[in-house]
Amino acid sequence: MTAVETSLITNPRKTWPADERVRAGQLRRREVPLAGHAALRPAEHRDPVALLEQEEVGRVPELVPIRHGRMLVSPFAFYRGTALLMADDLAAEPNTGIMAQLCGDAHLVNFGAYASRERSLVFDINDFDETLPGPFEWDVKRLVASVVVAGRDNGFKPKACRRAALAAASSYRTAMAGFAALTALDVWHSAINIDQAFADYKQTMSDQKQNRKAMKATRNALAKARTRDHLQAIRKLTRTIDGHRRIIAAPPLTVPVDQLPGADRDRSIELLESLLASYRDTLPDNRRHLLDQFQLADAALRVVGVGSVGTRAWILVLEGIHESDGVILQAKEARASVLAGYWQPSVHNNQGQRVVAGQRLIQASSDIFLGWVRDERNGEHHDYYLRQLRDWKMSLPIESMDPQGLTSYARLCGWTLARAHARSGDRFMITGYLGNTDEFDQAVVDFAEQYADQTERDYAALVSAVESGRTSAVTGI
């Protein structure tokens, strides 16, 4: 390894010319060849169920069976909850050492649409629970493998799955090369406007009946997303009692604070108000002013996602001056990233701050109420990050996509991931490493196909563990 390359890896903030950075990336292939990314070498005595159980320590015990039940829906649903398993597998492989702020769980469902601060519908990564700096290719492999697993779940033929996976990998590589040609500010301001992306996508579609049907479904989904705002959330999740909003109970998924075992509503609301005051300090001054126009009316514990089930997640109803004014915040528990055990731990002591810092770094436009807080009681603590529960948020239904739709969506996700890494990492070095051929793309897809095989075996292991009584699952929730 050359002195320049060593310096670039160990001191990435030092200002080196772009061509030196590109050259350093090219030289890195000597240590980690592009073709080497095709390899998957799982540990000899690998136990996926034991790793899942390890990750679940500290979660709410009564909710863990719900998590297992959601993972049993399909291999792709299982994959969504196994970021730790993949981190364990990736850590055993040689890595480039070329760093970026990773999503940490970059599968297809963790991309989606939401409202920007300017009230336009944008597309981006939307889950950062596992974000941490790490080798850029870990995110790429997680994304590309998710495409293959999803395609198989949808019943696609192997060639169709590979074509979609190659679209994701190729889109990442070519987008990164494009970002390397831009100024830092141009990269920072790059974003995907959903309406324009939809128009571009429509132009590529043939006039076949199934394509017209897919376009109509997508158009309807975009229209629906714009109705999923804070007011819609309030109408759906709350009702007015004695002039104040109260959350509608739907146990075990939504349990209002006054229905929790041993709960004292007044004491609980008082505690949550004090935590909101601490969270307020993490917001910019203008957002503090906005938050001050609301007051806490009610709160509930709410089960979310697949991989997150069992972590503590609150929804907080805030009322404004007018009866129709309000917002619902989600306070989601942030635990140490699954990557922390395999790479350097976070520089942030508060795991909520880790999530927020990573999200602000790699997301084009973050939620205006994004902040963090720590709840310290009885000798223990729980970290949380907060954001709006709904603000035009939309995830496309992967399970209903046809091969062409999955390929287009994978391409969109590949571009988005590259933009995130270009903002947070060394886009010149990554570009130099990837090169201008499809060797990296093909290797990563080879890896993804093997990993999809392994995911199906791991899924079967969880099924067997539930059937044998080793672990428990509650389905249909």
pLDDT computed for residue 213 by the predictor = 61
Ranked by mean pLDDT, the top range of 336-350, 378-392, 435-449 is: 435-449
Helix (H) or strand (E) holding 186: helix 184-189
Summarize the confidence of residues 381-388 as an average pLDDT. 95
Res. 228 pLDDT band, cuts 50 70 90:
low
Number of Cβ atoms within 10 Å of the Cβ of 391: 20
For the chain, the residue count is: 477
Q: Is the separation of the CB atoms in 144 and 442 below 8 Å?
A: no
Summarize pLDDT for 447-468 with one digit per residue, the tens: 999 999 999 999 999 999 999 9
Q: What percent of the chain is predicted at pLDDT more than 70?
A: 87
pLDDT computed for residue 318 by the predictor = 95
Ranked by mean pLDDT, the top range of 2-16, 203-217, 220-234, 405-419 is: 405-419
Amino acid at 173: R
Res. 164 pLDDT band, cuts 50 70 90:
very high
- On whether the pTM is more than 0.85, the answer is yes
pLDDT computed for residue 195 by the predictor = 65
Q: Is the separation of the CB atoms in 237 and 315 below 8 Å?
A: yes
Greater confidence (7 vs 308) lies with: 308
Summarize the confidence of residues 181-193 as an average pLDDT. 90
Position 182 pLDDT exceeds 60: yes
- 46: exposed, middle or buried (Cβ count in 10 Å: 0-12, 13-18, 19+): middle
Helix (H) or strand (E) holding 319: strand 313-319
- Half-sphere exposure of residue 124: CA atoms within 13 angstroms, side-chain side: 28
Summarize the confidence of residues 30-54 as an average pLDDT. 94
Helical axes 403-424 vs 136-153, angle rounded to 10°? 170
pLDDT computed for residue 208 by the predictor = 54
Cα separation, 216 vs 207, in Å, equals 12
pLDDT computed for residue 43 by the predictor = 84
Summarize the confidence of residues 396-414 as an average pLDDT. 90
Summarize the confidence of residues 253-266 as an average pLDDT. 87
Res. 345 pLDDT band, cuts 50 70 90:
confident
Bond preceding residue 252 cis, omega within 30 of 0: yes
Running DSSP on this structure, what letter comes out for residue 311?
B
Q: Is the separation of the CB atoms in 171 and 411 below 8 Å?
A: yes
Res. 243 pLDDT band, cuts 50 70 90:
confident
Residue spans of the domains in the chain: they are: 3-102+113-225+400-468, 230-388
Ranked by mean pLDDT, the top range of 57-61, 109-113, 155-159, 391-395 is: 155-159
Q: Is the separation of the CB atoms in 304 and 332 below 8 Å?
A: yes
Greater confidence (100 vs 196) lies with: 100
b/e code 127-147 from CB counts within 10 Å (16+ = b):
bbbbbbbbbbbbbbbbbbbbb
Summarize the confidence of residues 383-407 as an average pLDDT. 85
pLDDT computed for residue 292 by the predictor = 96
Position 411 pLDDT exceeds 70: yes
Least confident range of 99-113, 154-168, 263-277, 439-453:
263-277
pLDDT computed for residue 79 by the predictor = 97
Res. 340 pLDDT band, cuts 50 70 90:
very high
pLDDT computed for residue 307 by the predictor = 83
Q: Which of 420, 412, 419 is nearest to 167 (CA)?
A: 412
Cα separation, 29 vs 394, in Å, equals 39
pLDDT computed for residue 191 by the predictor = 83
Q: What is the dihedral of CA 6, 8, 12, 18, to 10 degrees?
A: 180
Position 88 pLDDT exceeds 80: yes
Cα separation, 207 vs 23, in Å, equals 45
Distance in Å from the first CA to the final CA of the chain: 53
17 alpha carbon, distance to own chain's centre: 33
pLDDT computed for residue 237 by the predictor = 87
Name the 3-class secondary structure at 135: strand
